Amino acid sequence: MGNQIHSILFVDDDPKILQGLKRSVEEYSDHWRTDFASTAKEALQKLSNEPFDAIIADIQMPMMDGIQLLDLVSRTYPGVMRFVLSGNVTDTQAMRSTSVVHQMIAKPSDIDHIFVIVERACRLRDLVANPELKKLITEIKRLPSVPVLYNQLIKELDSPNASTQIIGNIIAKDTAMTAKILQLVNSAFFCLSENINSPQRAVSILGFNTVKALVLGICIFSEYQEYGINPVGINSIWKHSLLVSSVAYTLAQKLNMSIQDQENARISGILHDIGKLALLSFPEFMNQIYTNGRGEISLEEEYRMLKTSHAEIGGYLLAMWGIPTPIVDSVTFHHRPYSIVREDPDLLSVMYVANGLANMVKNEIEINYSSYLDMSYLKRNGLVNYLDEWTEVAKSIYISSTENKES
């Protein structure tokens, strides 16, 4: 887990559970600083006395329940990651949690499982060196959606002939919508035995009425006007993400990767620049690093000005939201896949190559691999011989996408 000690505040009104937690965390004392509170009032007092990386609250508590507590924490201590332990959760509680809780953890859960979840988020947060930016990312509850897709979704939800398949297809094209719907469906509320990585399947599991309530009632998706953002920037990110998603999915197919990894590649492509959407939400940072009005960001400028990049920002956000680990890693390291050691680098490599080729075919007339890809990394992973074929794939998808927009 590294040398840095992280801190967690556990909140539960059941003294037996608190006592059990205290015993369980003893073996982790070298890596974690832990504290405990039996009421929301006590938890708020402890938060005022010393900083914590995360708070984990039981959802069912008297006076002020876990969601109410975390809502207050989100406004008073926005830099603290917020998790809730859920046993029997009502639909209403699940809905309320979507804009307040970063992740819902099933109850009972053993302490190892809890620490794995929180440690993953902490590990990726540590990659974001700028403390003010780190705090702002933790505050994020939703991100701006592509205007045309947001309007399509609202229209479909209001239609008497609305279809979960069509709704899922719309959501799957949008970075912000995809992230939020996967956050919800992978929460402990649904007690699923596997991670869900498909927006279409997520909508099918949630059901039409739940999705409609989330969108129109809880408003888990939002329009760009709320942020004072020029839609040109969002559309630029969207077009690039769709291209990378299509290229990554096709490359995964050509490598005969599993069906699950093919879908992971597709979704990683849609989500890989979610960190840029996060930066769009923060004008004070956006104005430092945007190089022009088209929403394009210089990676070098990001590292120089922010001490981090949109890739690490996106990975941290998705880890907090409980998105499956392979997707989180692909997003976090899509510019620097050599920064992480994995037993199976295929998905990371596919994302890295897809992003590089998508940028190359969009910006260059001639093939120029070395400006977009680390050739030594590709050689080490035995991928150089595929580049010419994969470039033709990327070109074909790019040309097709531009023709469709013009027609």
Q: What is the pLDDT of residue 293?
A: 47
Domains 6-126 and 224-406 share a fold: no
Q: What is the pLDDT of residue 1?
A: 43
| DSSP code string of 64-126 | S-HHHHHHHHHHHSTTSEEEEEESS--HHHHHHHTTT-SEEEESS--HHHHHHHHHHHHHHHT
Spatial CA neighbour of 209 closest among 95, 102, 90: 95
CB atoms < 10 A from the CB of 343, how many? 4
96-110, 170-184, 371-385: least confidently modelled range: 96-110
Q: Which CATH class is domain 6-126?
A: alpha beta
Is the predicted pLDDT of residue 192 greater than 90, yes or no?
no
Q: What is the pLDDT of residue 292?
A: 47
Helix (H) or strand (E) segment spanning residue 144: none
Q: Grade residue 344 by pLDDT with cuts at 50, 70 and 90.
A: low
Q: What is the pLDDT of residue 19?
A: 94
- Cα 74 from Cα 202, distance rounded (Å): 26
Own/partner pairs, 90-97, CB within 8 angstroms, 24+ separation = 91/210, 93/59, 93/65, 93/67, 94/184, 94/187, 94/189, 95/213, 95/214, 95/217, 95/218, 96/67, 96/218, 97/59, 97/67, 97/187, 97/189
- Cα 21 from Cα 207, distance rounded (Å): 36
State pTM to two decimals: 0.87
- Cα 329 from Cα 257, distance rounded (Å): 17
Is the predicted pLDDT of residue 141 greater than 90, yes or no?
no
Specify the fold of 224-406: Hypothetical protein af1432 (1.10.3210)
Q: Residues 55-60: what's their mean pLDDT? A: 93
Spell out the domain ranges in the chain.
Answer: 6-126, 147-218, 224-406
Q: Grade residue 318 by pLDDT with cuts at 50, 70 and 90.
A: very high
Q: Residues 142-151: what's their mean pLDDT? A: 84
Is the predicted pLDDT of residue 287 greater than 70, yes or no?
no
- Cα 230 from Cα 294, distance rounded (Å): 9
Can you give the C-alpha Rg of the chain in angstroms? 21
Whether the CA torsion 206, 208, 210, 213 is positive or negative: it is: positive
- Number of residues that this document lists for the chain: 407
Residue 108's alpha-carbon distances to 20, 58, 93, in angstroms, are 11, 10, 18
ω into 108 cis (within 30 of 0): yes
Q: What is the pLDDT of residue 22?
A: 93
Amino acid identity at 43: A
Contact 85, 66 (CB under 8 A): yes
**Pairing mode, strands 6-11 and 54-58:** parallel
Is the predicted pLDDT of residue 199 greater than 60, yes or no?
yes
Q: Grade residue 294 by pLDDT with cuts at 50, 70 and 90.
A: very low
Q: What is the pLDDT of residue 343?
A: 59
Token pair listed for 377? 């990394």
How does the average pLDDT of the chain come out, rounded? 87
Q: Grade residue 190 by pLDDT with cuts at 50, 70 and 90.
A: low
